[in-house]
Amino acid sequence: MWRLGVVGYPVEHSLSPVLHLEGLRLAGLTGTSERVPLDEDDSDRLATLLGARFDALSVTMPLKAAAAACCHELDDAAARTGMVNSLLWREGRILGANTDGAGLVEALAHMGVPVKGARCVVLGAGGAARAIVDALVNSGAEHVAVLGRTRARVDWFLERYDRVGAAEPDGGVDLVVNTTPSHTRVDEPPLAGATSATLAVDIAYEPRMSSWRALYETQGCRSANGLGMLAFQAARQMRWWWGVRVDGARLLEVIS
């Protein structure tokens, strides 16, 4: 019996418990899942939840950096980014992983959108952007531009990745990903390099059609919300937790 949960703030509308229960069913396992509201000021409680109350947790903002700090061991993506979205309790140790970026890449592949050789722009330079840029670079993107309001945060990327810049790439944009929080964003006109061949992805999934996506569709671009990323990162997360393949496409069907 697996004790699962999602932790962060706010989490009252999180779809993670729905994904957890479907994943358990697909894997032939049993368990429960619940939402645990926990903000940054109470992040020291995070480590106490593992073992005593939960076997594994999904972690959302604003706790991904705090989750990384409480781990005894990190997977490669979490070590590179300093962000954890997946926690596992194993023999008294807390293990951490980050499946966000790889989940987006798999969601793009499911849509028939290749990352290798792509010219990409990521809007925002926070924790979600770290995982996404890391995955895009490691999946062979030709160039990734990080457009963020805080120069120090943008510099974090420039210091770590060769194919990352701070300006929109010349010659058009194949993929633009908006990672800025919905409650703080100001929708700006589509990028100059956006064309009908550009895919615009808003990693938020509520509302399903954001005003930012609508601007890009008016420009003639294709667009998608964050449900695909959510489903495929969850599938990778569960594979890491249980050692059993879970179908991300099936998880996407459940929450779409």
Cβ-proximal residues to 229 (8 Å cutoff; 6+ apart), any chain: 100, 103, 104, 107, 201, 203
Contact 46, 70 (CB under 8 A): yes
Residue ranges of the alpha helices (H) in the chain? 16-27, 46-49, 64-69, 76-81, 100-110, 127-138, 151-158, 211-218, 227-242, 248-255
Contact 146, 166 (CB under 8 A): yes
How far apart are alpha carbons 192 and 72 in whole angstroms? Answer: 45
The CA R_g of the chain, rounded to the nearest whole Å, is 18
How far apart are alpha carbons 5 and 7 in whole angstroms? Answer: 7
* Torsional class of 238: left (φ above 0), alpha (ψ -120 to 50), beta (otherwise): alpha
**Residues forming the active site:** 64
Place of tokens 């409650």: 183
* Torsional class of 190: left (φ above 0), alpha (ψ -120 to 50), beta (otherwise): beta
Cβ-proximal residues to 36 (8 Å cutoff; 6+ apart), any chain: 5, 6, 7, 11, 49, 57
